[in-house]
């Protein structure tokens, strides 16, 4: 039975929580005549771990056990790297932590609740320094995870206490919450060594996606001389002429390609927008998993759990110190939500929102006195921020000077912005490497005072119909206020002027179909209070809208929320999505907005279809 990846810890009385061990998953069969110890794919561990194998023979009952073989460091903590040393004959303590029992006296107990199976398991295991019962705590997942983090352990496993054991299933009944980002990767090649280094410089890594090997990064760290030599030796018989990747790999220098057969463990800090692992560290080769089974981890999308971790006044994130101020300050007087709630929200939302903020200049909308205060825009980072805060100087024609725009590429910066009173996040449509060419265009459906939200929905659906006719993909989201935003991916292929002109053409066609309550007149005084403004001018350099998953300083603590088009219908309202329920929606539906960052439309083909 396997676990799905879950982003954050949670408390729940119907769940138990265990340490996530960093070793080899192993099944033990103790019989009357024979004892077996093997990996998930049937690889025998009996000769590799004789201490565990011999200790299993001391169990008097006929049982099938599930657990993890772990190597311990001098502090008693699991270390996957030490397993490599053990395999090479090193003196390393080895323990088999057993967390489940599948059969007793030849009779399966897999259909019994987990809590009952663990009681039976604990009763049958003899006292041993080699085979140990994997204990757990109940209900207090957040507190347990905090202890896991303090100890520097890899993470925790959350399991429904009443769950049955389903072999070969990656069930939402078992969830892994990681403190340290780790996963498996396939070795596809290596680069030449530089300087005094021997054997190779870096390993080129991939994972399988729909049968194709996809590049995820390369690593040159985590190696001793002995490991370099051993890995190099194992790669030599696998050398091939052609790359196993379909696409070109962004690696500097020549690569020696190999058959994608060896699997390794990686430790890394995050996954970039392109799917690459940032700061990957080699943790050792895996002998228990075929390369074809190495995929990106399956995330849990069904479990409805609380996800918000409360921030303390002083917090160190990725080695950067932050001082959070006035956490109890009320930002939403009617609902009672505080500044601390905003910071907690962005802490939990970080994995989802960061892909839409990374490498983009931020126009800071600050509301430090809560939603009843008008607030102000703040673009220049100035000199008051911490030394680690990244910014970029960009010339502003309106200000006739360079403005230092903050760049939000990590959690500490996102929370720093939240602490400034940025309830709302407003990134540019383009990124630093291509600032003059946006990744998408936006149709901003902006109602006036007397428009209904039903009319906003009708306008959005007409825009979708026009874009469908053009063959252009489109992705809607609520503004979090009174409107709807419709995004069209451009892939950074067109200038802002080209994006604006295409958006103008769509707006004209939409307004022609809805002349009674839409307008292209920007001035409210001229268009009146009964006309929706189809705003195509948001597609200008430096113009910004609330980011996907951004909070809004509006009543109800609403969130700008990506939608499925089938949800854009009568009865929809922006207040449906807010600070309290958005995480459960994400758990259920996943990120509906990622398509805006994929390959863009062919604008000329779209225009030809509209002219036909």
Q: Are residues 36 and 138 in the same domain?
A: yes
Gap between the Cα atoms of 581 and 258, Å rounded: 47
**Contact present, 466 and 505 (Cβ < 8 Å):** no
Q: Are residues 253 and 389 in the same domain?
A: no
Q: Does residue 156 fall inside a structural domain?
A: yes
Q: What is the CATH number of the domain that holds 70?
A: 3.30.470.30
Q: What is the CATH number of the domain that holds 573?
A: 3.90.920.10
| 212-232 pLDDT tens trace | 999 999 999 889 888 999 999
Question: How wide is the angle at C-alpha 264 spanned by C-alphas 260 and 268, nearest 5°?
Answer: 120
CB atoms closer than 10 angstroms to residue 113? 15
Mean per-residue pLDDT, 347-356: 93
Distances in Å between the Cα of 88 and the Cα atoms of 160, 230, 539, 610 are: 38, 10, 60, 67
- Domain end: 403, 427, 451, which one? 427
Dihedral-angle region of residue 275 (phi above 0 means left; psi in -120 to 50 means alpha; beta otherwise): left
Q: Which residues contact 551 (CB under 8 A, 6 or more apart)?
A: 342, 345, 346, 423, 424, 425, 480, 557, 558, 559, 579
Question: For residue 304, what pLDDT is reported?
Answer: 38
Q: Does residue 301 fall inside a structural domain?
A: no
Mean per-residue pLDDT, 577-589: 90
Dihedral-angle region of residue 284 (phi above 0 means left; psi in -120 to 50 means alpha; beta otherwise): left
Q: Does residue 526 fall inside a structural domain?
A: yes
Question: For residue 521, what pLDDT is reported?
Answer: 87
Q: Are residues 540 and 580 in the same domain?
A: yes
Q: Are residues 593 and 445 in the same domain?
A: yes
- Domain end: 397, 427, 457, which one? 427
Residue 89 has pLDDT above 70, yes or no: no
User: Which of 17-31, 160-174, 590-604 is predicted least confidently?
Assistant: 160-174
Q: Are residues 543 and 595 in the same domain?
A: yes
**Contact present, 175 and 157 (Cβ < 8 Å):** yes
| 121-161 pLDDT tens trace | 999 999 999 999 999 999 899 999 999 988 888 899 999 99
Handedness of CA 264, 270, 273, 278 (dihedral sign): negative
Q: Does residue 85 fall inside a structural domain?
A: yes
Residue 199 has pLDDT above 50, yes or no: yes
pLDDT-derived band at 315, boundaries 50, 70, 90: confident
| 248-261 pLDDT tens trace | 888 878 899 999 99
Q: Are residues 369 and 488 in the same domain?
A: no
Q: What are phi and psi of 330, to 5 degrees?
A: -75, 120
Question: For residue 55, what pLDDT is reported?
Answer: 93
Gap between the Cα atoms of 584 and 595, Å rounded: 21
Distances in Å between the Cα of 294 and the Cα atoms of 223, 289, 460, 600 are: 22, 8, 41, 29
pLDDT-derived band at 526, boundaries 50, 70, 90: confident
The strand pair at 532-535 and 518-519 is best described as: parallel
Comparing 559 with 221, the larger pLDDT belongs to: 559
Q: Does residue 413 fall inside a structural domain?
A: yes
Strand partners, 532: 518
Question: For residue 300, what pLDDT is reported?
Answer: 64
Q: What are phi and psi of 344, to 5 degrees?
A: -60, -40
**Contact present, 315 and 347 (Cβ < 8 Å):** no
Question: For residue 105, what pLDDT is reported?
Answer: 92
Q: Are residues 148 and 261 in the same domain?
A: no
Per-chain mean pLDDT for the chain? 90
Gap between the Cα atoms of 332 and 556, Å rounded: 8
Q: Does residue 305 fall inside a structural domain?
A: no
Give me the domain span that covers residue 88.
2-164
**Which of 70-79, 339-348, 368-377 has the largest mean confidence?**
339-348
Q: Are residues 399 and 505 in the same domain?
A: no
Q: What are phi and psi of 142, to 5 degrees?
A: -65, -45
Mean per-residue pLDDT, 71-98: 82
Question: For residue 268, what pLDDT is reported?
Answer: 87
Q: Are residues 186 and 128 in the same domain?
A: no
Q: Are residues 135 and 89 in the same domain?
A: yes
DSSP helix/strand/coil, 570? coil
Q: Are residues 448 and 596 in the same domain?
A: yes
Question: For residue 224, what pLDDT is reported?
Answer: 87
Which structure tokens are listed for 283?
């943790």
Question: How wide is the angle at C-alpha 488 spanned by C-alphas 483 and 489, nearest 5°?
Answer: 140
Q: Does residue 386 fall inside a structural domain?
A: yes
Q: Does residue 364 fall inside a structural domain?
A: yes
| 446-475 pLDDT tens trace | 999 899 999 999 999 999 999 999 999 999
Q: How many domains is the chain built from?
A: 4
Question: For residue 303, what pLDDT is reported?
Answer: 43
Q: Are residues 447 and 548 in the same domain?
A: yes
Q: Which residues contact 83 (CB under 8 A, 6 or more apart)?
A: 23, 24, 69, 70, 71, 92, 284
Q: What H or E segment, with its residue span, contains residue 488? A: strand 484-489
The strand pair at 155-160 and 12-19 is best described as: antiparallel
Question: For residue 429, what pLDDT is reported?
Answer: 97
Quote the radius of gyration of the chain (alpha carbons, Å): 28
**Nearest to 88, CA basis, from 186, 199, 222, 226:** 226
Residue 306 has pLDDT above 70, yes or no: no
Gap between the Cα atoms of 387 and 303, Å rounded: 39
Mean per-residue pLDDT, 522-540: 89
pLDDT-derived band at 310, boundaries 50, 70, 90: low
| 280-304 pLDDT tens trace | 899 899 888 889 889 887 666 544 3
| 402-436 pLDDT tens trace | 888 999 999 999 999 999 999 999 999 999 999 99
**Contact present, 200 and 259 (Cβ < 8 Å):** no
- Domain end: 375, 401, 427, which one? 427
Q: What is the CATH number of the domain that holds 208?
A: 2.40.50.140
Mean per-residue pLDDT, 181-193: 93
């Amino acid at each position: 039975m396997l676990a799905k990846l879950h982003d954050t810890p949670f408390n729940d009385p119907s769940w138990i929580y265990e340490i996530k061990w960093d070793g080899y998953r192993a099944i033990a069969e103790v019989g009357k005549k024979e004892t077996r110890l093997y990996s998930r794919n049937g690889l025998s561990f009996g000769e590799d771990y004789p201490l565990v194998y011999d200790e299993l023979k001391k169990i008097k009952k006929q049982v099938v056990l599930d657990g993890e073989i772990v190597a311990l460091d001098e502090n008693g903590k699991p270390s996957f790297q030490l397993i490599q040393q053990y395999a090479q004959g090193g003196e390393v303590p080895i323990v088999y932590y057993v967390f489940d029992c599948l059969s007793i006296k030849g009779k399966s107990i897999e259909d019994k609740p987990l809590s009952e199976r663990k009681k039976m398991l604990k009763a049958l295991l003899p006292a041993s320094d080699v085979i140990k019962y994997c204990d757990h705590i109940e209900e207090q997942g957040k507190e347990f995870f905090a202890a896991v983090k303090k100890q520097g352990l890899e993470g925790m496993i959350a399991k429904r206490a009443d769950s049955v054991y389903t072999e070969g299933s990656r069930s939402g009944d078992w969830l892994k919450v990681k403190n340290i980002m780790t996963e498996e990767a396939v070795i596809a090649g290596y680069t030449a060594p530089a300087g005094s280094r021997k054997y190779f410089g870096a390993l080129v890594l991939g994972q399988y996606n729909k049968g194709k090997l996809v590049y995820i990064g390369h690593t040159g760290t985590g190696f001793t001389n002995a490991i370099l030599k051993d890995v190099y030796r194992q790669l030599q018989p696998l050398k091939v002429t052609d790359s196993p990747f379909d696409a070109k790999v962004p690696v500097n220098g020549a690569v020696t390609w190999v058959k994608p057969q060896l699997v390794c463990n990686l430790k890394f800090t995050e996954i970039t927008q392109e799917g690459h692992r940032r700061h990957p560290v080699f943790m050792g080769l895996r002998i228990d998993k075929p390369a074809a089974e190495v995929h990106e981890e399956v995330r849990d999308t069904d479990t409805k759990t609380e996800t918000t971790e409360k921030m303390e006044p002083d917090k160190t994130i990725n080695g950067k110190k932050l001082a959070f101020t006035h956490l109890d300050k009320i930002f939403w007087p009617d609902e009672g939500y505080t500044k601390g709630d905003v910071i907690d929200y962005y802490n939990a939302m970080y994995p989802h929102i960061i892909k839409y903020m990374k490498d983009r200049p931020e126009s800071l909308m600050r509301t430090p006195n809560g939603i009843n205060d008008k607030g102000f825009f703040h673009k220049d980072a100035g000199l008051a921020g911490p030394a680690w805060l990244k910014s970029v100087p960009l010339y502003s024609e309106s200000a006739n000077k360079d403005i230092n725009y903050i760049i939000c590429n990590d959690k500490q910066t996102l929370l720093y912005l939240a602490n400034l009173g940025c309830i709302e996040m407003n990134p540019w449509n383009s990124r630093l490497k291509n600032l003059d060419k946006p990744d998408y265009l936006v149709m901003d459906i902006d109602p006036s005072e007397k428009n209904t939200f039903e009319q906003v929905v009708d306008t959005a659906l007409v825009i979708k119909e026009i874009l469908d006719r053009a063959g252009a993909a489109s992705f809607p989201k609520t503004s979090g206020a009174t409107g709807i935003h419709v995004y069209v991916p451009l892939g950074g292929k067109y200038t802002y002027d080209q994006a604006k002109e295409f958006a103008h053409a769509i707006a004209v066609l939409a307004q022609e179909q809805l002349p009674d309550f839409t307008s292209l007149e920007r001035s409210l005084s001229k268009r009146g209070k009964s006309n929706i403004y189809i705003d195509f001018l948001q597609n200008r350099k430096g113009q910004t809208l609330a980011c996907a998953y951004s909070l809004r300083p509006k009543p109800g603590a609403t969130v700008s929320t990506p939608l499925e088009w089938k949800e854009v219908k009568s009865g929809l309202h922006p207040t449906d999505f807010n600070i309290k329920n958005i995480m459960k929606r994400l758990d259920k539906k996943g990120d509906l907005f990622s398509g805006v960052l994929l390959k863009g439309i062919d604008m000329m083909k779209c225009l030809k279809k509209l002219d036909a």
